Amino acid sequence: MRAKADFFFDNEGPWQQEYAALRDLIQACHLEEDLKWGCPCYTFNGKNVVLIHGFKEYCAVLFFKGALLKDPKKVLIQQTENVQAARQMRFTSLQQVKKLASALKAYVLEATSVEEAGLKVPLKQTKDYSMPEEFQSALDNDAALKTAFEALTPGRQRAYLFHFSQAKQAKTRVARIEKYIPQILDGKGMDDE
Task: Give the whole-number percent of the chain exceeding pLDDT 70.
Answer: 99
Three-state SS at 73: coil
Band of pLDDT at residue 192, cut at 50, 70 and 90: confident
pLDDT of residue 2: 54
Q: Which of 135, 162, 165, 168 is nearest to 149 (CA)?
A: 135
Taking the C-alpha atoms of residue 118 and residue 24, their distance in angstroms, rounded to an integer, is 26
Structural domains in the chain, CATH included, are 6-116 (3.90.1150), 126-185 (no CATH)
Instruction: Say whether pLDDT at 1 is over 50.
Output: no
Taking the C-alpha atoms of residue 185 and residue 67, their distance in angstroms, rounded to an integer, is 35
Can you give the pTM of this predicted structure?
A: 0.75
Instruction: Say whether pLDDT at 72 is over 70.
Output: yes
